[in-house]
């Protein structure tokens, strides 16, 4: 029996409708308009597409959007000055600096400069620490999107054996930390993280009830590496001559899996909508609204 296709494009629409209602109430009841600022340095085409998609989502939902485009030779000091201004701007509740940055700018310094209460990417060390402790203000967008996909698709995580392939600070580490939290809804799992140093990757992936793959390599996981009835969340987006593909071999694995996300249309749309959700959450926090 073919797998259930977990369509992030559809689930993200559900969350957008929920956010529209929440934003309308914030405006009418509290006169609060959530605001998101994005900073883009240079001419990277993929980054332009991502920032454009975020602007479009803001417009659709009624979130105030401010975009700052800077030349590739912008200095670190100039970038930090923009961040400092946004930290103090009461119209702005979320600050997003599009990564990657030019090599002459220290990414850690930039992340540290963002007010943790406006860090809607949840990359600041304060927010990373709160996530690990289980008391987050914000959850990082892609992992949060993954968690919502699991919850809203009725996938049981409580007691599940989860294997995460990839140890990045953006996906692998945070989703592992989220899924081990003592919470029966979307967590309370036993988690293994695999990476480039893992010996015999297949011996781990075959154990997984839920397999989350953020390896950064097209079709890195094949059907012989998973068990029947597995749930597969494919975070990868790889551009080949034949089109976009994920980090798993979708066509063969879907015949063995219980459920699987497609590429495109799986995790990708969830990342942007969870950024919007974090911006709304920040606006409520700044207004003292629980």
Tens digit of each residue's pLDDT (9 = 90 or more) over 112-152: 999 999 999 999 999 999 999 999 999 999 999 999 999 99
Domain 31-115 has CATH 3.40.50.10860: yes
Q: Is the pLDDT of residue 21 over 90?
A: yes
Q: Is the pLDDT of residue 2 over 90?
A: no
- Using CA atoms, how far residue 130 sits from 23, 101, 127, in Å, is 26, 25, 5
C-alpha 286: how far from chain center: 22
Q: Where are the beta strands (DSSP E) in the chain?
A: 4-5, 35-41, 64-70, 94-97, 161-165, 190-194, 210-213, 231-234, 238-240, 243-245, 259-260
Report the distance separating Cα 187 and Cα 203, nearest Å.
Answer: 23
Q: Is the pLDDT of residue 91 over 90?
A: yes
- For 198, the token pair is 């893992």
Annotated catalytic residue: which of 118, 119, 121, 234? 121
Compute the average pLDDT of residues 93-110.
96
Alpha carbon dihedral 186, 174, 75, 94, in 10-degree steps, equals 20
pTM: 0.96
C-alpha 70: how far from chain center: 24
Compute the average pLDDT of residues 62-86.
97
Task: Let me know if 54 is a catalytic residue.
Answer: yes
Q: Is the pLDDT of residue 177 over 90?
A: yes
Annotated catalytic residue: which of 54, 173, 254, 256? 54
Question: Is it true that 31-115 and 141-267 share their CATH fold?
Answer: yes
- For 107, the token pair is 């990414």
Task: Let me know if 281 is a catalytic residue.
Answer: no
Annotated catalytic residue: which of 98, 147, 181, 281? 98
Q: Map out the domains of the chain as residue ranges.
A: 31-115, 141-267
Give the whole-number percent of the chain exceeding pLDDT 70.
Answer: 100
As assigned by CATH, the class of the 141-267 domain is alpha beta
Provide the pLDDT for residue 131.
97
Task: Let me know if 117 is a catalytic residue.
Answer: no
Among the listed residues 223, 233, 161, 151, the one whose alpha carbon sits nearest the alpha carbon of residue 190 = 161
């Amino acid at each position: 029996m073919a797998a259930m296709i977990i369509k992030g494009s559809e689930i993200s629409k559900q969350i957008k409708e929920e956010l529209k209602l929440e934003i309308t109430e914030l405006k009418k009841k509290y006169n609060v308009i959530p605001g998101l600022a994005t900073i883009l340095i240079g001419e990277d085409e993929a980054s332009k597409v991502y920032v454009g998609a975020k602007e479009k989502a803001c417009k659709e939902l009624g979130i105030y959007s401010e975009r700052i485009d800077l030349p590739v030779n912008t200095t670190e000091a100039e970038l930090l000055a923009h961040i400092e201004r946004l930290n103090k701007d009461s119209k702005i509740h979320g600050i997003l600096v599009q990564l990657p940055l030019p090599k002459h700018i220290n990414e850690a310094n930039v992340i540290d400069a963002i007010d943790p209460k406006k860090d809607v990417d949840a990359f600041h060390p304060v927010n990373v620490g709160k996530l690990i402790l289980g008391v987050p203000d914000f959850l990082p967008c892609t992992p949060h999107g993954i968690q919502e996909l699991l919850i809203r698709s009725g996938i049981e995580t409580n007691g599940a054996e989860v294997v995460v392939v990839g140890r990045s600070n953006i996906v692998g580490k945070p989703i592992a930390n989220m899924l081990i939290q003592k919470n029966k809804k979307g967590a309370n799992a036993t988690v293994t993280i695999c990476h480039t140093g893992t010996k015999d990757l297949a011996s781990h992936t075959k154990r997984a009830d839920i397999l989350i793959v953020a390896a950064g390599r097209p079709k890195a996981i094949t059907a012989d590496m998973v068990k029947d009835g597995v749930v597969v969340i494919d975070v990868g987006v790889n551009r080949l001559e034949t089109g976009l593909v994920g980090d798993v071999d979708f066509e063969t694995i879907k015949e063995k899996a219980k459920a699987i996300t497609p590429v495109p249309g799986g995790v990708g749309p969830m990342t942007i909508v969870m950024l919007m959700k974090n911006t709304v959450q920040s606006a409520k926090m700044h207004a003292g609204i629980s």
